[in-house]
Structure formats: C-alpha cells, structure tokens
C-alpha cells in the first residue's frame, strides 16, 4: 500500500479481509474433492500418535504414510556444515547461476518431515524463480526438543550470511517454510536480529505457519475433524516440541509475542479450511502494525499446507508467491 501521510482518512481506506473468501460457495470443486479425499484417507486411519515419532518418520520415508511421497530431484545435493551439536545437513537444489537463495525450513510439527520430502517445491524456486533452494535438516523433537531445532536453523542462516556470496554468487536471500517451518523461519529472523544484529533476508515466504504455541482460537475450536491436522494433533506437536523447556509467551517460542519491527516483507499464505488460519490472520496484522510490508493470501477451501497437492488452487498460490518474490 502506498502511504499518503497527508491523508487524514488513511486508516479508513485500508481494505478489510473479504468475508466472501470464507463462504462455502467460494470453494471450487477440485479443492472440495481433495478435502473429501483427505478426510476419507485419514478418518479411521491408524492413529499416528500410537507409534513413536521415529517409527512414523521411518514409515513415511518408505512410502507407507497416508499419502505417497513426493518425487526426489535428481540434481539435489547435500552440503554438510558445522551445527550446534555436530554435522548439520542442508539439501541444495540450485540453477547454474542463482538469482538469489531461498533458505527453506520444512514443516512437520517440529517432530516429522525432512529436507528431502518437498523437492518439487524447492524445484519451483530453482526453475521458476532462479533461486538456489537450501533446505535445513534440523534436529527433530521429541528426541531433540526445543531449542534444538531453532538452534540448527539459526546456524544454517548464519552459514548462509557468511558463505552465501562465495558459494552462490549472490547475497539476495529470502527465508520461508510451511507450518512449523514458517514458525522456525520467523524465530530465525528474530534470533539473527536480536543476537547478531543481522537482517539479511529480503523477504519471507510463510505458508500456514503456527505462531502462537498456546493455540489460537481457530485451533482450539477446530475439533476432531482430521483434515491433515486437528486440535489434538497441534496440541501434541507443541507438547513434543516443548518437552523439556519453553515459555509459550516467549518470542523465541511463540513469535506472535515478539517485537516484529525491522523485519522484511512477508507473504502469509493460508487456506480457509486450515485450523491454523488465525495464526496467519493475527501475524499478518501484527507484521503490518510493526511497520513492515505484509501480504495476506487467503485461499478458499485450502486445507493445511494444501500447496503440497497438485491442484489449481496450489498453482494459483505458487503464482502469487512468484509475484511476491519478484517484487522484492
């Protein structure tokens, strides 16, 4: 928004969120069919909490999860750097001459997921945007609870600041991820600013993030419906992440409570059928109130991390991300 400081009615001109986005009629048939398929797959399926997280990870890696694994990129490489507790692996998919670097942090409730489980998304940044995508294989809870994951992401960001130009030929950096990865992206930006006096990122691409670990109203009100996530899942993920320590009101745990001033432009992507929708609505508002450029893309009917599914809504959301990055 172009600010006109001479306009006394500036605040009255700020557009509100269009309520029509939340109307059932706004959901296209393809998105509705995907949601129905997800519910059919997950409703009555074995409870993921009946097995240790390590077993769930192993089964997913073998293709035994509720959804088939995404294809691996043949050009992906692994770079190993020094982490806070030993070697830290970064998965890199890069064009020959990168125009920038996307530091990617995967989701999975801080307990699941891996850097090699979303290569098509990383390829999107390499192919369509010309960015080198660098995904962090951070330590996972509950074996490595808070602050292990944030510590690893902080180390990866500092490595990029130190070595990015020499390795990739550019210092144009953006950061982002989905779900817990969006949370860790914001925590990483805050840590670099607070602990190191660094604000190296030109933008943040944040998808379906969780920013209040005490749980926002939309999470608490969601209930048992298993559309990727439900209330119980989110509660248990938080409990696993904070198994040993962590104040839910501390900015390093719940960045919704942070001083957000001086952070880069951010695009918040969220679907209306995501229990975490309040997290994006609240954080996008706080981001703007702190004086930062904030863009909120709300997608009718989109489930949690719907961008992992090949549907028209995903293609529209990716096009919006492409435009956002191009504008930085």
Whether the per-residue pLDDT at 302 is higher than 80: the answer is yes
Q: Cis peptide leading into 297, omega within 30 of 0?
A: no
Task: Please give the pLDDT value at position 218.
Answer: 98
Task: Please give the pLDDT value at position 15.
Answer: 60
Q: Report the largest interatomic distance among the alpha carbons of the chain, rounded to a whole angstrom.
A: 61
Helix, strand or coil, per DSSP, at residue 239: helix
Q: Which of 119, 151, 274, 279 is catalytic?
A: 274
Q: Which of 135, 179, 218, 254 is catalytic?
A: 179
What percent of the chain has a predicted confidence (pLDDT) above 90? 89
Q: pLDDT tens for residues 157-190?
A: 999 999 999 999 999 999 999 999 999 999 999 9
Asked about 304 being catalytic, the answer comes back as yes
Half-sphere exposure of residue 29: CA atoms within 13 angstroms, side-chain side: 0
Predicted structure pTM score: 0.95
Asked about 179 being catalytic, the answer comes back as yes
Q: pLDDT tens for residues 249-295?
A: 999 999 999 999 999 999 999 999 999 999 999 999 999 999 999 99
The whole-angstrom separation of Cα 59 and Cα 65 is: 6
- The per-residue pLDDT of the chain, averaged, comes to 94
Task: Please give the pLDDT value at position 246.
Answer: 80
Q: pLDDT tens for residues 112-162?
A: 999 999 999 999 999 999 999 999 999 999 999 999 999 999 999 999 999
Helix, strand or coil, per DSSP, at residue 204: strand
The whole-angstrom separation of Cα 253 and Cα 184 is: 9
Task: Please give the pLDDT value at position 65.
Answer: 84
pLDDT band at 6 (very low <50, low <70, confident <90, very high): low
Q: Which of 10-14, 198-202, 252-256, 285-289 shows the lowest mean pLDDT across its residues?
A: 10-14
Please provide the CATH number assigned to the domain covering 19-48+70-327. Answer: 3.40.50.1820
Task: Please give the pLDDT value at position 196.
Answer: 98
pLDDT band at 244 (very low <50, low <70, confident <90, very high): confident
- Domain edges within the chain: 19-48+70-327
pLDDT band at 2 (very low <50, low <70, confident <90, very high): very low
Task: Please give the pLDDT value at position 7.
Answer: 53
The whole-angstrom separation of Cα 91 and Cα 36 is: 33
Q: Which residues pair with 92 in a beta bridge?
A: 77, 134
Task: Please give the pLDDT value at position 45.
Answer: 87
Helix, strand or coil, per DSSP, at residue 109: coil
Asked about 7 being catalytic, the answer comes back as no
Task: Please give the pLDDT value at position 191.
Answer: 98
Task: Please give the pLDDT value at position 238.
Answer: 98
Task: Please give the pLDDT value at position 1.
Answer: 36
Task: Please give the pLDDT value at position 245.
Answer: 80
Contact assessment for residue 320 and residue 296, using Cβ atoms and an 8 Å cutoff: no
Closest CA to 243 of 111, 86, 106, 85: 111
What percent of the chain has a predicted confidence (pLDDT) above 70? 95
Whether the per-residue pLDDT at 193 is higher than 70: the answer is yes
């Amino acid at each position: 928004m172009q600010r006109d400081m001479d306009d006394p009615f500036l605040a009255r001109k700020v557009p509100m969120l269009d309520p029509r986005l939340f109307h059932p009629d706004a959901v296209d048939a393809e998105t509705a069919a995907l949601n129905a398929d997800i519910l059919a797959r997950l409703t009555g399926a074995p409870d993921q909490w009946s097995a240790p997280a390590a077993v769930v990870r192993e089964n997913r890696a073998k293709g035994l999860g509720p959804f088939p694994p995404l294809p691996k990129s043949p050009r992906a490489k692994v770079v190993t750097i020094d982490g806070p507790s030993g070697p830290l692996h970064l998965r890199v998919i890069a064009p020959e001459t990168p125009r920038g670097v996307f530091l990617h942090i995967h989701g999975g409730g801080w307990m699941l997921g891996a850097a090699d489980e979303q290569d098509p998304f990383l390829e999107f940044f390499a192919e369509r945007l010309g960015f080198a995508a660098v995904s962090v294989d951070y330590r996972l809870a509950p074996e490595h609870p808070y602050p292990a994951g944030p510590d690893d992401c902080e180390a990866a960001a500092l490595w990029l600041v130190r070595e990015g130009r020499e390795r990739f030929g550019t210092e144009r950096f953006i950061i982002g991820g989905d779900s817990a990865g969006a949370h860790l992206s914001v925590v990483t930006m805050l840590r670099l600013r607070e602990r190191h006096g660094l604000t190296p990122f030109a933008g943040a691409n944040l998808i379906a993030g969780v920013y209040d670990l005490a749980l926002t109203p939309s999470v608490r009100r969601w209930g048992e419906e298993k559309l990727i996530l439900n209330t119980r899942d989110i509660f248990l993920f938080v409990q696993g992440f904070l198994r040993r320590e962590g104040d839910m009101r501390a900015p390093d745990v719940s960045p919704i409570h942070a001083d957000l001033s001086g952070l880069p432009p951010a695009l918040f992507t969220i679907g209306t059928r995501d229990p975490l929708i309040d997290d994006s609505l609240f954080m996008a508002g706080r981001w703007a109130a702190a004086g930062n450029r904030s863009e909120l893309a709300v997608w009718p009917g989109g489930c949690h991390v719907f961008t992992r599914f090949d549907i028209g809504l995903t293609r529209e959301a990716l096009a919006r991300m492409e435009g956002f990055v191009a504008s930085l």
